């Protein structure tokens, strides 16, 4: 969350995130390809039960056929995507150009100029190359979830 954010801003961000998660419950959910840094899974969350819940949720999501989760291991070294998180939306209709989205300290940014999302695609490809494959990633998430329950 943004430092010094108003209660209304925090509520707006939480509502937006919950609505995005709701998309996964659709009858025909979108294909989701997520790449996460292992450190994000290991970073302590308070209360501790929240971290356990988040890891369990990732384990469940990784089992869905429309969701691919890949983890960049701690020993991967530097990789292109570590300079900031982003989401790249691609659409089935060829006339709809991709859109990149970044949530940041000064608000949300949608990058729609035709050439710009292509740069995000290159970054996503290089970042994905640094990640474990989906099977290895799921095993790591499950291991971390078990450790957090212990």
DSSP string, 117-132: HHHHHHHHHHHHHTSP
In this structure, the chain runs to a length of: 150
Q: What is the pLDDT of residue 13?
A: 80
**DSSP helix/strand/coil, 65:** coil
Tokens of 25: 């419950």
Distance CA 123, CA 83 (A): 10
Q: Which helix (H) or strand (E) holds 87?
A: strand 87-89
Q: What is the pLDDT of residue 64?
A: 93
Q: What is the pLDDT of residue 33?
A: 92
Q: What is the pLDDT of residue 2?
A: 58
**DSSP helix/strand/coil, 18:** helix
Supply the pTM of this predicted model: 0.79
Q: Which helix (H) or strand (E) holds 13?
A: helix 7-22
For each successive 10 residues of the chain (150 residues), what is the average pLDDT? 74 82 86 92 77 88 93 89 84 87 82 85 89 95 81
Q: What is the pLDDT of residue 136?
A: 96
């Amino acid at each position: 969350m943004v430092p010094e954010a108003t209660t209304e801003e925090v509520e707006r961000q939480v509502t937006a995130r919950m609505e995005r998660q709701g998309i996964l419950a659709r009858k025909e959910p979108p294909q989701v390809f997520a790449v996460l840094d292992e450190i994000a899974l290991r970073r302590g969350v308070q209360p501790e039960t929240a971290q356990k819940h988040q890891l369990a949720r990732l384990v469940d999501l990784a089992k869905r056929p429309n969701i691919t989760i890949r983890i960049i291991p701690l020993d991967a070294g530097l990789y292109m995507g570590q300079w900031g998180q982003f989401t790249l939306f691609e659409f089935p209709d060829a006339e709809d150009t991709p859109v990149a989205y970044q949530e940041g300290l000064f608000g949300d940014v949608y990058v729609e100029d035709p050439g710009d999302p292509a740069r995000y695609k290159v970054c996503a490809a290089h970042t994905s190359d640094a990640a474990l494959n989906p099977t290895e990633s799921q095993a790591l998430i499950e291991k971390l979830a078990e450790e957090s329950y212990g």
